[in-house]
Structure 1
Amino acid sequence: MALRQTYLSMKSKLPPGAETVLVMRGRGNDDLAPAEELFHEFSELKGEFVPGCGYPSAIHYAWEKSDYERRFRSQIRANPRALARLKELADRATTRDIFLICYEGEDKPCHRHLLLEIAQEEFGAIVDPRPFRPAGDPNSP
């Protein structure tokens, strides 16, 4: 049992009984989503991406140019409600799998990965950072 992560299109493929927590804005867990300012800046920077500029994708470009990781970590650590929610999830993940879910696929940077790291750093959460693979997937562990 662990705190895990995946993306929205995999939600229907999760094992029965797996708990899911949508960590996108407007899905009931806004404390665990990027602040509107960061989200909008990130989105604008994705639109400025020019292929061949040294980044593999618009998301990678925007992630670095917005200083996303540092800003998101600061946002979460400065928000007592976000930390309390992460602690609650970390505690419950000792007895069941809990999946943090967002839009970005596994090959892109995403704040849900940072949430797992913060939960592990702050609360000693049991974390399984491996990408979720449905049963029968040839890439399943």
Structure 2
Amino acid sequence: MTVHTTYFGGVSQFEPADDAEVIGVVRYPKDFVERVTDRNVPALAPPANLLDAYKTVEASAEADGAAFPSDVAWQTVRFEPRYLNYLRSFPGPQAVIEELRERASERDIWLVCWEKDCRWCHRRLLTKEIVAELADVEIVHHPDPTTLDVGRNESDEESSPNAALADFSTPEA
């Protein structure tokens, strides 16, 4: 079985199989979310204070011309440890993760949110939590992060294209 991750625009592009379960994991869903997912589970989204802090720092970094605004925000707000602490500290997310572990051992599941690049997305962390205790379950990110131009935008032609996910992960203690 496989746990896939993608963003809402990727659902139609990467086409989950008919028997796969497509789960939104966003705090603030738009109306179309229920049309492109089987359900949305806000309990697995980042807590509002973390998400708001991330977006505020990302916008400021972008306005300041930072090469990698998402990475600046990710590091500044300590997104990874804070999100993992949230998942591990509350019974709601823990119960849903346990349910998703059971489902992932039986069929493919897709986790979907707003962020295209999984390097700066809670889906990557959530997926690792789901499969941590499972054997023979693969993780596939759509799009593959090694195919994305990291931090590249129209005004930044000197960014390093195709950086690997490992280039942006924090060493685990």
Smaller-chain TM-score bracket: 0.7 to 0.9
Q: Which has the higher contact order (CA 8 A, sep 6+)?
A: 1
User: Relative to 1, partners in 2 of residues 1:92 and 1:75: Cα closer, same or farther, differing over 3 Å?
Assistant: same
Q: Would you say 1:85 and 2:96 are equivalent positions?
A: yes
Whether contact under 8 Å (1:3, 1:125) holds in the other structure is: no
Unmatched runs of 5 consecutive residues or more in structure 1: 134-141
Cα distance in 1 for partners of 2:3, 2:136 equals: 6
Cα distance in 2 for partners of 1:85, 1:68 equals: 21
Q: What is the root-mean-square deviation of aligned Cα atoms in Å? A: 1.9
Q: Of 128, 140, 149, which aligns to 1:130?
A: 140
Q: Of 23, 27, 35, which aligns to 1:25?
A: 27
Q: Of 63, 84, 87, which aligns to 2:74?
A: 63
The aligned counterpart of 1:51 is 65
C-alpha deviation, 1:62, in angstroms: 0.5
Cα distance in 2 for partners of 1:26, 1:39 equals: 10
Cα distance in 2 for partners of 1:70, 1:77 equals: 10
Whether contact under 8 Å (2:2, 2:140) holds in the other structure is: no
SS in 1 for 2:139: coil
Deviations 1:70-106 (A, max 9, x none): 0000001011110110111111111211001111113
Q: Would you say 1:15 and 2:17 are equivalent positions?
A: yes
SS in 1 for 2:140: coil
Cα distance in 2 for partners of 1:131, 1:24 equals: 17
Cα distance in 2 for partners of 1:86, 1:62 equals: 26
The aligned counterpart of 1:139 is none
Equivalent residue letter for 1:39: L
Please say which of residues 23-32 and 70-79 is displaced more in the overlay.
23-32
Q: Of 53, 61, 65, which aligns to 1:41?
A: 53
C-alpha deviation, 1:127, in angstroms: 3.9
Cα distance in 2 for partners of 1:77, 1:60 equals: 23
TM-score relative to the length of structure 2: 0.67
Deviations 1:15-51 (A, max 9, x none): 2222111001144411100101001111110121022
Cα distance in 2 for partners of 1:89, 1:107 equals: 19
Unmatched runs of 5 consecutive residues or more in structure 2: 30-39, 144-173
Equivalenced residues, count:
129
Q: Percent identity?
A: 28
User: Relative to 1, partners in 2 of residues 1:60 and 1:129: Cα closer, same or farther, differing over 3 Å?
Assistant: same
User: Relative to 1, partners in 2 of residues 1:107 and 1:2: Cα closer, same or farther, differing over 3 Å?
Assistant: closer
